Amino acid sequence: MKIKVLIVDDSAFMRKVLTDIINDSDTMEVVGAAKNGEDAIEKIRNLKPDVVTMDVEMPVMDGLTALERIMAETPLPVVMLSSYTKEGADATLRALELGAIDFISKPSSIFKVNTEDIIKEINEKVTIASKAKFRSKTMKITPRPVEQKVERPSSERSRRRGTRIDKVIAIGTSTGGPKALQEVVPKLPGDLNASVIIVQHMPPKFTKSLAERLDSMSEFSVKEAEDREMLKPGFAYIAPGDQHLKLKKIGTDYQIMLTKEPPVSGHRPSADAMFYSLADLGLFNIIGVIMTGMGADGAKGLERIKHETNGFIIAQNEESCVVYGMPKSTVKLGVVDKECDLLQISSEIVKAMGV
């Protein structure tokens, strides 16, 4: 049976292009189209689609308002269509918090809408969304507003930056990751003597918005990684979209190296590329974490970390994953020390730190 898709977009051109792409697939079919969020809610009730593709900016009712209504009334998988701008990235992060499974970036030119890469992305993400699981409605993220972020005195920040890093916490995730990260990073205590490095499969601009969002919620300082900056305790670094994040040892310190080397395990940034880098350094103070996502990126890298450095490996369990792909691949290799619910990962990290 084909995946039934409802397209929601105020542009007749986009509705037509998306309809053609989806109907050309052997596994999907468009069962309807809506020109705004209000229209979408009515058609969801009548057509009962398996997946909805949802534009963000629309008249009458925008995509975020519609998404919030859908998740409250008739929850089902939604894939957002986002403009490739800072504002679009911020709106996309909000959509993922509200329950959207994933997003597709609209090309900068209408002439690139039906390129091979876009067609492949639409097919893959709609298919993944149709199989994704929803967390319980009771699991609601309550981020701390930006203005309430805990600010440490400059003297304390200076002192902590000079201390030795006890652990490097390396996290890899993909589909469902932005929301999952909000259940992990903000729950890490700010005085934890560790650095966190993160690979989340996302395009440029979106990783910066993700870093800013996490930073506003966390005692840890969270930022998009910059090439050649040194790791500091109490900081979390997110690999920029389309760049691998690796580490280089300089004396007793660690330096971030960003590269545009070819994709690893099908991705750039790649969790495997980050984990391989840690294993190659021979570090013996690694906590590796693998969370929700399609595919197997990160599994082989964590296998090397376990065998070569005896790092401690944590995997998100199937019940709490949006897509149990990356954790499943890692578990199959027999290198996971602790498989647990998403809501337990931060406490397991703290335990592994010996705090």
Written as tens digits, the pLDDT of the chain (355 aa) is 999 999 999 999 999 999 999 999 999 999 999 999 999 999 999 999 999 999 999 999 999 999 999 999 999 999 999 887 778 899 999 999 999 999 998 776 555 666 788 899 999 999 999 999 865 443 444 444 444 454 544 334 434 444 578 799 999 999 999 999 999 999 999 988 999 999 999 998 899 999 999 999 999 999 999 999 999 999 999 999 999 999 999 988 999 999 999 999 999 999 999 999 999 998 889 999 999 999 999 999 999 999 999 999 999 999 999 999 999 999 999 999 999 999 999 999 999 998 5
Q: How far apart are CA 197 and CA 288, in angstroms?
A: 10
The whole-number pLDDT of residue 110 equals 56
201 is catalytic: yes
Distance, in Å, from the CA atom of 350 to the CA atom of 185, rounded to the nearest integer, reads 11
Q: Which residue is catalytic, options 10, 90, 215, 297?
A: 297
Q: Please say whether the beta carbons of 163 and 324 come within 8 A.
A: no
Q: From the candidates 174, 221, 270, 329, which is the catalytic residue?
A: 174
Neighbouring CB atoms inside 10 A of 260's CB total: 9
Catalytic residue among 201, 221, 244, 267: 201
> What is the rounded CA–CA span in Å between residue 169 and residue 313?
10
Measured CA to CA, the distance from residue 270 to residue 172 in angstroms comes to: 8
Where do the structural domains in the chain lie, given as residue ranges? 3-131, 146-353
Residue 83 pLDDT: 81
Domain range 146-353, CATH class:
alpha beta
167: phi then psi, degrees, rounded to nearest 5? -140, 150
Give the angle 330-331-335 at the CA atoms, nearest 5°: 80
Annotated catalytic residue 174: yes
93 Cβ contact partners less than 8 Å away, ≥ 6 residues apart: 178, 206, 209, 210, 213
What is the model's pLDDT at position 86? 78
Determine whether 297 is an active site residue: yes
Topology agreement, domain 3-131 and domain 146-353: yes
What pLDDT shows up at residue 108?
61
The CATH class that applies to domain 3-131 reads alpha beta
Give the per-residue pLDDT at 142.
44
